[in-house]
Chain A
Amino acid sequence: MGGWTGKLLRVNLTTGTHAIEDIPVAWMREYIGGRGLAARYLYEEMDPTADPLGPENKLIFATGPLTGTPVPCGARYMVVTKGALTNAITTSNSGGHWGPELKFAGYDLLILEGQAPRPSYLFIYDDRVEIRDAAQYWGKGVFETEDGLREELGIPALRVSCIGPAGENLVKFACIMNDKHRAAGRSGVGTVMGSKNLKAIAVRGTGGVDIAEPEAFMKAVWEMRAEMQDNPGRKSFTELGTAATIDLTNAFGGLPTRNFQQGQFEHAEALNGNAVKDTRMVSNKACFACTIACGRVCRLGEHSEKYMVNVHPRNWKTAGEGPEYEAAWALGADTGVGDLDAVLKANWLCNDLGMDPISMGSTLASAMELYQTGVIGDDDVETPLTFGSAEALVRMCEATAYREGFGTELAEGAKRMGEKFNRPEVFMGSKGQEFPAYDPRGFQGMGVAYATCNRGGCHLRAWTPGPESSTMDPHTPAGKSEWVVPEQNRTTSHDNTGVCLFVAGAGGPMEKIAPCVSAATGHPYSMDEVLKIGERTWNIERLWNLRAGLTKADDSLPKRLLKEPHTDGPSKGVTVNLEFMLPIYYEARGWDPEGVPSPEKLTELGLASL
């Protein structure tokens, strides 16, 4: 056996005990690993109705069989838990170097249970596992925490994942950050870690990942690398990063602007891939084993004195990563801010304070709409929350992480904030999670993808703008559900392997990855089986959500997308026809009209006993 280590580390933070366990071989084969395997454990072990911020919630870090191997972009780990933002199962993915290091320490999975009695961090050095006092790091930013741990433990090669002040202060959309600028970003996984009083997980692994069939494995790796080398998608990611997507979405009227009030942003060119590359970028940066290097390292240089706030992450003077597409949109177009320096500062504040820039930007945009419509006024806020205000953007990122002033409201996310001010319609999201950077009125298929995603509004489960900008009519609902279902299965299976989803658009589709999984693990995976595993994972997540109390009513979209079309631009006059797409989606999934998986479907997927 290879690829997998076959072991998991279970740590109980309440009692301070830990155990190393074998993972059932049948489960590894049935789920490949990562997201699916973790969902299987969560389903087995946890009451889905538990409070996400209570000790009953479990926090699982999961790598895949290809994490830590030279398969291009085999860097990923998944955080699987009950989301603080969504009250649904969440599966938050991150790259960098931390996931591979956990694997080198000997573990496919890390399961955290309970709640530490005081601020603590977890130190893992191969089979040495310690829960240590984190008093000196509590309150510190992500950058300082990582550097501090490396110095305290005296291990230069240490890899750190941690929360920032936002996680400590239970901001509902706090991230778990690793390698300073990489994030398991969405649904409040950092909030869950904060509720467990766990500041950081510091890992050093000196073991290796073994391979079942070395010759076949290296052949499959080099075939995939050769394919990616000359792929135009790969070249674009390398040259312009993900922010190149701004040009695409803006052209289709699908770049949500000012809290989805418009579909095009007049300052889009100030934030796109070329703007970043030509004005602020100094270097590419790759995650572990990545042959794309979409990461942008930027310097503010002489512009570092703009928009000063109370905290000053060190890298404002030197260099830091970002912005990528989603952050550039949420902190830029969605708040109406067209100043790249303000967006960069806000992005770096989110990274250092440990917050999801998508939810941060989108929640601020919702608050700006409340301010625009007079629901809140100058008495409620320290700085006018005017759309386009760069000062407000940077300051409110800080105020949110520390829950200062109106930041306390923002820290709850747009859904809870909107409800508090009796304006639930300002929340642009589903299942409590703010949407990312695609307006479904510009790309109809995103409507059904958003509404049905198990973790709430998400762009990583079925990216319809690809086909909708090339081979499909972006404004018709026909054919969209039929495309979304298998795509969700494919991306889910992809997440299970430990390979970054971006390779799919860069010449490394699942057809190229499956042979790598087979050779690494020694278990032959056909494409049919791979897609079935994605479907199995999707369904077990769905079953978990249903047990948590979610219903068909949660597969919904805000009124704005369903009833209020844009008045100009390429997506003028279009609304989202979810009423048409959702029943087709349920049918394609083999679910009943209420969105419950049928007994036949569960039997087909081997889930009948659940």
Chain B
Amino acid sequence: MSKVLNIVPDRCTGCMQCELACSWVQTGTFAPSKSVIRVNVFDEEASYAPYTCLQCDEAWCMSACPVNAIAIDEATGAKVVIEASCIGCHLCTIACPFGTVFTTPKSDTATKCNLCGGDPACATACPTDAIEYVEADRAGGWFEPWTERVNSNYVEAATGAN
């Protein structure tokens, strides 16, 4: 079974160590704007949600690419951008339902999570284990209680109930 990034929002404190580590490995500088993992902050909900590519089985970014510039890394199952082939058409960024394919500002080519070749820097850097790299069947257990709580907060806010 392949491994996946298991991201647990309740453990995240919003420190951005993952963005720093990602940009360092991907671009050689500490620049969160170039990171392909991003932390969404919902400050009034006291909630922080790192998000990155889910490495979909049925990857729409791959299907959308007109020049086959996104390929599967056999070792990790990651969908990887072949930068030399990318023509910068942005179709993959539109096709992705989760908004996790980005573009590199200067070259305008696509960039996305490649699982760092099997040793994701974001998971190593996270100080609270909010990002773990685990076997796929161990991932996602946090999801239902979390959505239930977040949804109820929204209902409270919308209805004015305390």
Residue positions of A touching B, CB distance < 8 A: 68-70, 97, 100, 104, 157, 180, 205-211, 214, 225, 229, 282-291, 293, 295, 297, 299, 301-302, 304, 314-315, 317-320
Contacts and interface: CB of A to CB of B under 8 A. Distances in A.
Contacts of B151: none
Given A283-B46, A289-B20, A317-B162, 17 more contacts: A68-B30, A70-B20, A70-B21, A97-B16, A104-B33, A207-B29, A208-B30, A208-B33, A211-B29, A214-B28, A287-B15, A291-B127, A293-B15, A293-B128, A315-B44, A319-B43, A319-B45
21 contacts: A69-B20, A70-B21, A70-B24, A208-B23, A208-B29, A209-B31, A210-B29, A283-B47, A286-B13, A286-B15, A289-B20, A291-B15, A291-B17, A293-B128, A297-B46, A302-B162, A304-B162, A317-B160, A317-B162, A318-B44, A319-B46
Nearest to B14: A286
Nearest to A218: B24
Contacts of A295: 13
B71 interface: no
B105 interface: yes
B50 interface: no
A438 to B, nearest CB: 28
B44 A282 contact: no
B17 A289 contact: yes
Contacts of B15: 286-291, 293
B68 to A, nearest CB: 29
A291 B45 CA distance: 21
Closest 3 pairs between A and B when the two form their complex, measured CB to CB: A208-B31, A208-B29, A286-B15
B17 A209 contact: no
Contacts of A284: 13
Interface string B146-162: 00000000000100101
A360 B105 CA distance: 45
A299 B149 CA distance: 15
Contact of B30 (A209, A299, A318, A319): A209
Contacts of A285: 13-14, 46
B155 to A, nearest CB: 13
B80 to A, nearest CB: 22
B17, B32, B34: which has the most chain A beta carbons within 10 Å? Answer: B32
B33 A209 contact: no
Contact of B31 (A180, A206, A293, A320): A206
A153 to B, nearest CB: 15
Interface string B55-93: 000000000000000000000000000000000000000
B21 A209 contact: no
B20, B21, B28: which has the most chain A beta carbons within 10 Å? Answer: B20
Contacts of B96: none
Contact of B29 (A180, A209, A293): A209
Contact of A288 (B16, B21, B44, B47): B16
Interface in B106-162: 125, 127-128, 157, 160, 162
Nearest to B126: A291
Contact of B162 (A69, A211, A297, A301): A301
B25 to A, nearest CB: 11
A69 B162 CA distance: 40
Given A208-B23, A285-B14, A291-B127, A157 B46 contact: no
Given A283-B47, A314-B44, A318-B45, A70 B17 contact: yes
A207 B31 contact: yes
Interface of B: 13-17, 20-21, 23-24, 27-34, 43-47, 105, 125, 127-128, 157, 160, 162
A532 to B, nearest CB: 28
B46 A104 contact: no
Nearest to A315: B44
B46 A282 contact: yes
Nearest to B34: A208
A484 to B, nearest CB: 32
Contacts of A286: 13-15
A586 to B, nearest CB: 42
Contact of A205 (B20, B33, B45, B162): B33
A70 B30 contact: yes
B13 A208 contact: no
Contacts of A208: 23, 27, 29-31, 33-34
B46 A69 contact: no
B145 to A, nearest CB: 15
B105 A206 contact: yes
Contact of A180 (B23, B24, B43, B45): B43
Nearest to B15: A286
Contacts of B28: 214
Contacts of B43: 180, 319
A289 B39 CA distance: 12
A320 B16 CA distance: 19
B33 to A, nearest CB: 4
Contact of B44 (A68, A104, A229, A319): A319
Nearest to A300: B162
A495 B43 CA distance: 27
A159 to B, nearest CB: 11
A104 B127 contact: no
A66 to B, nearest CB: 10
Nearest to B38: A157
A229 B160 CA distance: 41
Given A180-B43, A297-B46, A301-B162, A289 B16 contact: yes
A319 B45 CA distance: 6
B160 to A, nearest CB: 8
Contacts of A211: 29-30
Nearest to A304: B162
B33 A293 contact: no
Contact of B157 (A229, A302, A317): A317
A70 B45 CA distance: 26
Contacts of A205: 33
Contacts of B23: 208
A207 B29 CA distance: 9
A205 B33 CA distance: 8
A293 B30 contact: no
A286 B17 CA distance: 10
Nearest to A296: B46
Contacts of B157: 317-318
Contacts of B13: 283-286, 290, 293, 295
B42 to A, nearest CB: 10
A104 B16 contact: no
A72 to B, nearest CB: 8
A218 B79 CA distance: 28
Contacts of B33: 104, 157, 205-208
Contacts of A206: 31, 33-34, 105
Nearest to B124: A222
A404 B44 CA distance: 29
